[in-house]
Amino acid sequence: MRALRARWRTASLASGWRFPSDWALPEVDAVCAAVVKGGGPEHALAGLGRARAAAGTGLAETLADLAALHAVLEQVGSTDGFVSPDVDATPSRLLRVTAVAWADVAFDQFAGAEVTDPLTGLPTLAYLLTRLGELYRQAAREGRPAAERHNLLVVAMDFTAAAGWTRLTGMILAADALKFVFDGGESLAALGPSTMAALAPRDNGVAAKAVLLRRELTERLAGDQQLREIGTPRLRLLRLPATHAQAGDLLSDLRRT
C-alpha cells in the first residue's frame, strides 16, 4: 500500500499536480487500500473526489490525478512512478464516479458556503473574504489603505511526507495554537487543507505573537513522532493588497500553498 501511494504521488506530481503539500489526504489512503485488497475502488474514489473538491482542487486536476493512478496500475513495469497518465485512457466508470462526487461537493459549496471549517473549527476562507470586504470599505471611507492598519499572518504546514491522517491531526493542533495566540478578536480562518491565517491589527504586538505562535506550534507538533518529522511550519506576515479584489486573489493563491 505504501509503495502504491508513493508511485501514485510521483506520477501525479510529474504530470502537473501543482501543490505537492496538499496531495496527501486520508481518502488517498482509502483508495490505495481498496486497490491493494483487490476490490472495486469506486466507493473510495467517490470519497476522494469529494475530498478534493472540499480542499479546493479543480475538476481537471482531480481527474488528472485519477489518470496518474490508473497509469501506475496499468504500467506495472514502472516501479518509480514515472508513467504517462492519460485522462482519455482512464475507464469511464472511474471518471464518472470521481467527477460526480467532486461536483456534488463543489455545487454544495457554491450554493451555501459553510461559515466554519468542521475539522479545525476556524472560520472559512469565505468568511475571511467577507471580513476583508468590510475593512476595505471602511478604509475607503476614511481615505486610507487597508494595509495601514491590518496585516495577514499566514501559517503553512508542509505535509509533503505525511500520511493522510497525520495531516488531519496536524491541522487540528495548528488551529488550536492559532486560536490560543490570537484570542483578542482577530479574524482567523482555515484557507485550505494545509494553510490557515489570522487577520490582525498592524501594531507592535504582531511580531511578538508570531514568535509565540511558532513556539506553540513547535510544542504541540513535538508530541507526535510523525508530526515532528514534517518540520517547522512556515509563518509569513503579509501586507494587504491595494484592493479587495486583489486580496481575494491573494487568498485563492494561499489556499493551496
| Structural domains of the chain in order of their starting residue, each with its CATH number | 2-111 (no CATH), 125-254 (3.30.70.270)
Cell numbers placing 81? 512512478
**pLDDT more than 90, % of the chain:** 54
- Residue 4 CA to residue 117 CA, distance in Å, equals 30
pLDDT at residue 72, as a whole number: 92
**Most confident range, picked from 97-101, 102-106, 224-228:** 97-101
pLDDT tens column, 12-51: 998 888 888 889 899 999 999 999 998 789 999 999 999 9
Q: Strand 187-192's sheet: what is its strand order?
A: 187-192, 195-201, 150-156, 234-239
Q: Is the pLDDT confidence value at 10 over 70?
A: yes
3-state helix, strand, coil in the chain (%, to 5): 60, 10, 30
As to burial, measured by CB atoms within 10 angstroms (0-12 exposed, 13-18 middle, 19+ buried), residue 235 is: middle
Residue in the structure block whose three cell numbers are 485550505:
192
pLDDT tens column, 193-248: 889 999 999 886 888 999 999 999 988 888 777 776 666 789 999 999 999 999 99
Work out whether the CA dihedral 173, 195, 150, 132 comes out positive or negative: negative
Q: Is the pLDDT confidence value at 97 over 90?
A: yes
